[in-house]
Structure 1
Amino acid sequence: MKFAIRSLTVASILAMGGVAAHAADLTYEPAPVAAAPEVFNWTGFYVGVHGGVAAGDFKYPLSINSGEFGTSGELKQDASGGFGGAQVGYNWQFNPNWVVGVEADIAAASYEGKISGNVAGFGFDAGSEVEWFGTVRGRVGYALDNLLLYGTGGFAYGDVKSSININGSGVSTSDTQYGWTAGAGFEYGITKNITLKTEYLYVDLGSQTLLDLPIGETTNLKMDADTHFHTLKAGLNYKF
């Protein structure tokens, strides 16, 4: 009986030792944690290209002054055209979704309009064309990951060529004019380096004197050309 009890005790000890050894061989491995998706960051320099369409009108304020007598009015001609160019800029993202930046662009253009009529017995035809224009603007936006919604505004400049022909005699002028611009747009990050944008801008390039003509000794005819237009464009940027 003693032998049986001792045998049972030894067997129990050996069995418990085997279980402990097996338990010691088991290791704990935590469940893998999924990597957080990479958040798009707008900070950095970028360069790109763009193209679009422009529409609006040229306005021609005119006045006739003769001593104490004078009259004034305004002629208007619809205009349209296209443009294409390049841009460069820098964005800074902070706090954590706001984005501020600056952008400069320049584009060749074919925005033009023509008008003809008769004023005080003088037959005329006039026309204006924007051959190129550019802007330097600030941008303020809000980022929803890789989607940026923004407003923009600043300085505008461009080359405006205008001409007028009155009763067979003509004059023309071509000047670089300066003004302002404002608009809004959105930009979408296709990859971490390539973005696609769509933007609306209103551009006002101010006024130039097209005609300042004395008629006789006391009469003067003056006509200006005002240049402003709306643009809608799409562009691609490469962000460094």
Structure 2
Amino acid sequence: MARCPLEDSVAVRGRIGYAADRWMPYVAAGVSFAEFKFDLDHDGTGDWDFQEKKSFTGWNIGAGVDYAMTDNLILRAEYRFTDFGRKSFGNDWDDNSKIKLRTNDIRLGIAYKF
């Protein structure tokens, strides 16, 4: 059994959109930073044979839409794909262990403009 949970992540992104009435569709892209924790139990006994935390830098791209419900309240829906590359493991039982580090997120939000 292998686990690879995303521990922490940060993204720096730019976005460009076009406002039409109260709607603003947009696309966004940027750089992402994350820390993953890798756990491996190759024989299923419950004892971890391998554990490691590692930081990665990757890229992200996405698209979304903002809707101004009022002049101050904005709703947002967005899809984001992030790719941190691959992590390879060399060990005694499997020389070709590779994990693709990718995330697909759907985000919903509310913002208040002052």
TM-score with structure 2 length normalisation? 0.83
Partner of 1:163: 39
Q: Is the 8 A contact 1:162 1:225 kept in 2?
A: no
Partner of 1:226: 100
Partner of 2:78: 199
Q: Which ranges of structure 2 fall in alignment gaps of 5 or more residues?
A: none
Q: Deviations over 1:80-99 (max 9, x none)?
A: xxxxxxxxxxxxxxxxxxxx
Verify: 1:180 aligned to 2:64, yes or no.
no
Partner of 1:212: 90
Q: Deviations over 1:61-117 (max 9, x none)?
A: xxxxxxxxxxxxxxxxxxxxxxxxxxxxxxxxxxxxxxxxxxxxxxxxxxxxxxxxx
Structure-2 separation of matches of 1:150 and 1:166: 44
Give 1:59-208 correspondences, 5 Å limit.
125-167=1-43, 170-208=49-87
- How many Å apart are 1:127 and its aligned residue? 1.7
Identity %: 27
- How many Å apart are 1:133 and its aligned residue? 1.9
Give the letter aligned to residue 187 of structure 1: D
SS in 1 for 2:111: strand
Structure-1 separation of matches of 2:13 and 2:60: 8
How big is the alpha-carbon RMSD for the aligned residues of Structure 1 and Structure 2?
2.0
| Deviation beyond 6 Å, 4+ runs, structure 1 | none
- How many Å apart are 1:208 and its aligned residue? 2.4
- How many Å apart are 1:130 and its aligned residue? 1.0
Decide which structure has greater helix share.
Answer: 1
Give 1:1-80 correspondences, 5 Å limit.
none
**Number of positions where the alignment pairs a residue of Structure 1 with one of Structure 2:** 111
TM-score with structure 1 length normalisation? 0.42
Partner of 2:109: 235
SS in 1 for 2:71: coil
Structure-2 separation of matches of 1:199 and 1:190: 17
Structure-2 separation of matches of 1:145 and 1:132: 37
Q: Which ranges of structure 1 fall in alignment gaps of 5 or more residues?
A: 1-124
- How many Å apart are 1:225 and its aligned residue? 2.1
SS in 2 for 1:166: coil
- The structure that has the greater radius of gyration is 1
Structure-2 separation of matches of 1:132 and 1:139: 22
- How many Å apart are 1:222 and its aligned residue? 4.3
